[in-house]
């Protein structure tokens, strides 16, 4: 039985639709013989939404393979990003973190597919529309989370601190925060507030990983075929969804607040894993950075 239209409409519009794009990329990645990450639930989401029901979920459905700017190169980028951030979160729990907050979680299924130790809680924050669709698909698939899972519907442009506290988040326990594919779409003011909120709620031993575009892309990069492919084939105009106004220096701000911060290029991880996207002319990934921060040994507040 198809998912009710009322539950699929919200995930098809605006920035929510990008969650389906990433899910399709993860579905394809899952079936690659050299997969960087596997997410068996991803194709359930893609198939359940009319907007994406005919998108590929397997490499065999991508005739151009790696030469396809969308499902080849960008798709591989999402696979690499997923792997790098999976590893980062698992490293955080190895240091004792048992509380995870995924900001702009979209169709992220880490609560279901990673090997969380007992006692882990994963808070997933996104809009009510995305989370309702996600829940319906998870229920239909009979998916059972490995960690305690707490979805929270809020708009991250608003003040979301109290809602997270009300949802059972503990500010005295160390937290692994993740903002994967989110800050690109948020206004600068919302990013500044998000960083300040994360900092305020982070006990000693907390970590934060996020993705940004360091600077606005040049006209040459904006003409990269990946953007036209997303617009024409998927109905996703990434260039109009990105907030291209000057970005805050969140890495610098975190450092000023006492965090230890490491800014990495995705290509560092291509080298690390021996596979993944490589630089190209007018590269739409050239200014992407993955930032890994930790509170280090600062005192518990």
Among 8, 99, 121, 127, binds ligand SAM (CB under 6 A): 127
Class of residue 91 by CB neighbours under 10 A (exposed 0-12, middle 13-18, buried 19+): middle
Strand partners, 210: 179, 291
Binders of ligand SAM: how many residues, by CB under 6 A?
20
Name the one range near ligand SAM by CB under 6 A: 66-74, 150-158, 192-200, 215-223: 150-158
Burial 198-215 (b: 16+ CB within 10 A, else e): bbebbbebbbbbbbbbee
Among 59, 69, 104, 145, binds ligand SAM (CB under 6 A): 104
Structure tokens of 135? 């829940």
Contact predicate 84/277, CB 8 Å: no
CA dist., res. 135 & res. 141, Å (int): 10
Site for ligand SAM in 235-264 (CB under 6 A): none
CA dist., res. 36 & res. 82, Å (int): 8
- Smallest separation (angstroms) from ligand SAM to the CB of 95: 22
Contact flag: residue 20 with ligand SAM (CB under 6 A): no
Contact flag: residue 157 with ligand SAM (CB under 6 A): yes
- Smallest separation (angstroms) from ligand SAM to the CB of 187: 9
Among 68, 86, 108, 283, binds ligand SAM (CB under 6 A): 108
- Smallest separation (angstroms) from ligand SAM to the CB of 172: 25
Contact flag: residue 30 with ligand SAM (CB under 6 A): no
Handedness of CA 83, 84, 89, 90 (dihedral sign): positive
Q: Which residues bind ligand SAM (CB under 6 A)?
A: 15-16, 18-19, 22, 104-108, 126-127, 130, 155-157, 180-182, 185
């Amino acid at each position: 039985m198809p998912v009710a239209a009322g539950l699929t409409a919200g995930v098809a519009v605006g920035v929510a639709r990008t969650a389906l794009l990433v899910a399709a990329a993860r579905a394809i990645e899952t079936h690659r013989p050299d997969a960087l990450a596997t997410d068996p639930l991803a194709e359930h989401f893609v198939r359940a939404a009319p907007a994406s029901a005919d998108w590929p979920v397997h490499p065999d459905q991508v005739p151009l393979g790696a030469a396809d700017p969308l499902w080849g190169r960008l798709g591989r980028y999402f696979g690499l990003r997923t792997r790098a951030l999976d590893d980062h979160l698992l490293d955080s729990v190895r240091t004792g973190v048992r509380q995870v907050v995924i900001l702009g979680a979209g169709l992220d299924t880490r609560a279901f597919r990673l090997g969380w130790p007992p006692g882990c809680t994963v808070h997933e924050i996104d809009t009510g529309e995305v989370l309702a669709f996600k829940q319906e698909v998870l229920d239909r698939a009979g998916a059972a989370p490995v960690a305690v899972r707490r979805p929270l519907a809020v708009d991250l442009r608003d003040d979301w601190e109290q809602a997270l506290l009300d949802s059972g988040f503990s500010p005295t326990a160390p937290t692994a925060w993740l903002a994967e594919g989110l800050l690109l779409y948020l206004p600068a003011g919302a990013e500044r507030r998000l960083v300040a909120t994360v900092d305020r709620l982070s006990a000693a031993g907390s970590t934060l990983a996020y993705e940004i575009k360091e600077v606005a892309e040049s006209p040459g990069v904006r003409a990269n075929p990946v953007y036209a492919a997303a617009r024409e084939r998927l109905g996703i105009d990434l260039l109009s969804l990105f907030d291209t106004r000057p970005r805050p220096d969140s890495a610098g701000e975190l450092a000023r607040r006492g965090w230890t911060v490491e800014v990495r290029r995705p290509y560092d991880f291509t080298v690390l894993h021996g596979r993944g996207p490589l630089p190209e002319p007018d590269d739409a990934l050239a200014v992407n950075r993955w930032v890994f921060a930790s509170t280090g040994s600062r005192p518990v507040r």
